A and B are shown apart, each in its own frame.
Chain A
């Protein structure tokens, strides 16, 4: 085989590899993290979801976490931004591993699972059914004398 032929094969090979790389979407992140990485992500304002049951959540949860039990995840995740990073956790990391896998399969780009769950969490926790800010939520809203339903909605 002549040097020219080899050169052509190399050039074509490079083009093929480049084309494949360009056509392949960037790999989604589904990463197990520990407490330190969680603290770092929280400081960046990343949303943290607790996929345990409401009663487990009420007993103790990470500050700022939102409770989305596993059986509500599919519905709730429909309204989440798939480009934004999310952290999921449960008691020991098993349920949230499934949740993370599900979210990645749904197209979420960056999903982090607190791999050892809240049982290994060494920071502060909160109690109650709220999201960590529930205590600050208003207890009354001005009505026109009728019960009121407020829908903070997306445009669809």
Chain B
């Protein structure tokens, strides 16, 4: 999924912050992973600017179109 996400970052990176946590070792990533009960990768979480979580996380591989829809819905 990395190439897909990288392309989306190029497209949306100026208005949406992209954070990528790979495996463990990053304390912030580990804590978020625990909070969101991440059991499978990739798992994608969408958060509005005010900090509210937008919809359900997406678990597993997904098309760029679906990711775009979710990104476009962020406020």
Contact with A along B27-49 (1 / 0, CB 8 A): 00100110111111111111111
Interface size counted on chain B using CB atoms at 8 A: 47
Query: In the bound complex, do residue B42 and residue A140 qualify as a contact, i.e. CB atoms below 8 Å apart?
Result: no
Cα distance, A117 to B8, chains bound together (Å): 39
Instruction: Label chain A's interface by main secondary structure.
Output: loop
**B56 close to chain A: CB less than 8 A:** yes
Given contacts A68-B60, A149-B71, A153-B22, contact A79 B53 (CB under 8 A): no
A141 at the interface (CB under 8 A from B): yes
Q: Are A150 and B21 touching (Cβ within 8 A)?
A: yes
Residues of B within 8 A of A44 (CB): none
| CB–CB A151/B44 < 8 A | yes
**Interface contact A141-B41, CB-CB below 8 Å:** no
B61 neighbours in A (Cβ, 8 Å):
75-76, 78-79
**B residues with CB within 8 A of A:** 1-2, 5, 8, 12, 15-23, 29, 32-33, 35-54, 56-57, 59-63, 71, 74-75
